[in-house]
Every structure is written in structure tokens, then in C-alpha cells.
Structure 1
């Protein structure tokens, strides 16, 4: 049996620790939590910065995960998260509203679609949504998640977005926009978008949060043509039904 490689073990432990801290971390914090000497931690941090898995603050005090870390999970498949019942419930939703639905969960700096009915919906604009990453501040799913997650996680997500290069970077720094979107989403009970994401300028969407054992897991959305109805019109027709399906889907998930 081969011995573990200490360097790999330490590097991964440092990445895990920064993730667990949930925001920008100092070298001292990482050293205390991992039990690795501060000088050694600093050496690993410099290497991870050079590899673009970690970013540092302008004053060289704080370190935080880079969006590049998401490459480490791109090959991970989520089949084990949900059961056949999950897709059955989503297909029932699509049969009722006619439009395709997506189930997504937060991953690093975006919402990751882990299940979808686009492939079975006659009204879908695409058949390949599983694995698609949705911007946090331009999509109904992202807004629904941000409005319902904890204050600590929201700050963590926004810090990542502000310091990243994603489509959300500018919006994450606009407090007026953020406050308006979060207040509107909480008041209505659902996230919405209508052509805000340039890649899908012809569509609109509404999304509700999905909880598993009382903990926020992700969002359930439906997507439709903007010319057919507005998000508010969709919510008037389908909001209550979506909420019930989101509850049942949450019960079907295996976390």
C-alpha cells in the first residue's frame, strides 16, 4: 500500500479550510484550524495563488477561493443526489405548466443545474441543461437562492462574485440593485428574470427555493418565452403548484 503524499494532503486541507471558513481567511486562521505551521501555510498559499485556485486581497491579508476551483468539481456527477422520484415530480410539473423546469443548486459562484425536463418538453429551447451554470444575479434560480440563504452564505457568495470575473461581478457590487432584487424576491416569494441574461434574452423564468430537512438546497424554476407571458403572469398561474412540487422534490432528495 502506498503512503499518502503529505504535500497533496496539506494543500487540499488548506482549500477545505478556506471553504469551511466561508469567507476570506487569514494565514493565521488557516494555521490554527489545520495545525500546520504558519510559515508552511504561507508557502502553500503562495503556490495555490500562482495556480489560480486561491486569490488574495490587495493588502495581502486575506485569502479566498478563486472561481477556478470549480474546475475541480466539473467531473463530479450528481446522480446520487436525487432519486427517480425527483424527475417524476419535475415531469409532473412540466406536464401541468407545459414549460420545462430545472432543479439547480449553488456551486462555487453560480447555480448548477442537476436535473431538468428540457429534453422531454415540446416547448423547450434546448435539450442540454444538466451541468449548465446559471448566473446568480441574472436568473430566477440565483435570485431565489440568494434571497433565502443565510446572511453568512449570502455574504460569502457576494464576496466571491465581486472579486471574480463572472457576469455577476458588476451587479454584485451594486448595493442598490442587490437590495431591490432581494426585497422584491422575498416579498413575492419567488425569483424572476425576463431577458436579463443575454445568452437567453428571449426567455423568462420564475423560481422557488427547495429545502431538504429544513436546509436550503437549491431552486426549482420553470422557463418560458417572454412573448407568451410575464414572470408575474406565470406566478399567478403556477406559483402555488410550484411550491408544492418544490416541497415534494425536497423530500425526494438524498443529501
Structure 2
């Protein structure tokens, strides 16, 4: 009987189809968030999301009626409103990011100069939870929050991989090793992973010198964020590859980035204690 009930439930679950308009609406919100200046035209959004311009217009007008976007000064322009922030208000897990990490990261902008990101592990990727790109005058990016960073090819991912426990790393490699892309190939390369971890630990920080094809013109350094003995994420510093020399990184920026990571880890202790 239990087996029959399970089969019926599985069959019922399979009957639920993707709500295509909702998926498209979420994609448009993400595209607007990443657009230069936070504003974009229906034509540009249609190209980015691969959706017909008429459909984009219809969805944006629905979002406007609900208060999530507004029309720009020019014909066809739209931009996000502060109402979108209400979408994350129910997540207690985000509290320490907003109340602890963000103020510390913003205060560090004058010292670090270059923008930095804070990320946590999710589904085998580092997901950017907070960023100072909107505060740094040297930033060449927008909308980094929510971006997925691969473990093996980004500084933040490498910093996390080198700092996690053997059991967690084994689980991550097993998960990622099932992929059929370059990430999966790297996950199955045991010797390459060991070398990557050894180099990161010996150096004392993680480096990405344009190794991520998607961001090839940019380099980054990163360190893990530890709350006591608990690994909670990582912070990076991003800059054009030709802009900063290794000596300057190690003498000027690395100590400041490490202090930021240590302070975030220390100040978030009460939040993790409450969560536990």
C-alpha cells in the first residue's frame, strides 16, 4: 500500500508543469538587476533573456502594476524599485549578511579600494551574497549578488575548497564530478585538485589570474571566512589583471582583506549561535 501511495504521489508531482511566465518574470528581474545603472530597455532585456520583446513588455507591465519595476525617462526603459527587497525579508539566514557583513564590507571600501564580494556555498558553487561593487569607484561590474562562482576556477571557490574539511571536500567533488562539463572534468582530476589546494595553502590565499573564462580580463584574490572553527564562506577582491602587481597585492591588499574576513567571522558568532 505504501508503495502504491508513493507511486501516486510521484505521478501527481510529475503533473505539475513549469509556469513559464513566472520563470521569464524572474529572469527579467535578474537581468534588470545586472543592467548598467539598474535600468534597461525592453529590447535589451529581450536579447539578454531570449524572450520576444512583446512578451517582455507584457511581463514588465505586470511587474510594474505590482510595484516591482517602474518606467524610465526614455521610451521602453524600466528599472527596479525597492519593493524587490521585500522578496528576501522572510529569510533569517540573510540577517547576518545584512547586519554584520555588509556594514563591515562597506566600511572597508576606502582601504580595499577595489570591490569585494562575500559568498557562501550553495549547490557546489559559491553564491555571491553581498558585494561592494555598487560602492567602489573602481568597480567594472554590477549586479554581482546572486552570481554563482565555480569552485575550481575562481579565487573565492579555491579559498573555500582549500579551507573545507576532508569530508566536505569529498562530498563536493562527488557532486560536481557527475557533471559533463569542465567543472566535472576538474572534479574528477584528483591530482589537479590536490595541487590546487596545496598551492593555495602554501601561498596563504587563493588566486584567480583570469582562469575563469567568463571573466578572463579580471583577476581576484580571496580568503575564507571562518566563524571560530566553522567555515561559513569566503571574501574576494576583484581587479583587472594588469592593474595590480603581486607584490602590491601581498603587501597592501591581502592584510586588509584578511582583517575584513576575520572581523566578519568574529562579529557573526552571535548570529550563528542563535541559528544553532
Same fold (TM over 0.5): yes
SS at match of 1:168: helix
Cα pair 1:194 1:231 within 8 Å, conserved: no
Cα distance change, pair 241–165 in 1 and its aligned pair in 2 (3 A): same
- Report what 1:88 is aligned to: 103
* TM, length-normalised to structure 1: 0.68
Distance 2:111 2:4 in 1: 58
1:130 is the counterpart of 2:145 = yes
- Report what 1:238 is aligned to: 253
1:225 is the counterpart of 2:230 = no
SS at match of 1:91: helix
Q: 2:162 aligns with which of 147, 156, 171?
A: 147
- Report what 2:196 is aligned to: 181
- Report what 1:101 is aligned to: 116
Cα distance change, pair 125–152 in 1 and its aligned pair in 2 (3 A): same
SS at match of 1:79: helix
Which structure has the higher relative contact order (CA within 8 Å, separation 6+)?
A: 1
Distance 1:252 1:40 in 2: 51
Distance 1:122 1:40 in 2: 61
Distance 1:191 1:237 in 2: 16
More helix by percentage = 2
Matches within 5 A, 1:1-255: 79-165=94-180, 167-230=182-245, 233-253=248-268, 254-255=271-272
Distance 1:247 1:40 in 2: 53
SS at match of 1:102: strand
Displacement of 1:43: 6.0
Cα pair 1:144 1:185 within 8 Å, conserved: yes
Q: Highest Rg: 1 or 2?
A: 2
* TM, length-normalised to structure 2: 0.63
Distance 2:204 2:168 in 1: 19
Displacement of 1:171: 1.2
Distance 1:212 1:204 in 2: 26
Structure 1 unpaired stretches of 5+: 1-36, 52-73
Distance 1:40 1:217 in 2: 42
- Report what 1:13 is aligned to: none
Farther off after superposition, 123-132 or 77-86: 77-86
SS at match of 1:138: coil
Displacement of 1:189: 1.6
Cα pair 2:119 2:130 within 8 Å, conserved: yes
Cα pair 1:100 1:117 within 8 Å, conserved: yes
Distance 1:242 1:41 in 2: 54
Displacement of 1:232: 6.0
- Report what 1:33 is aligned to: none
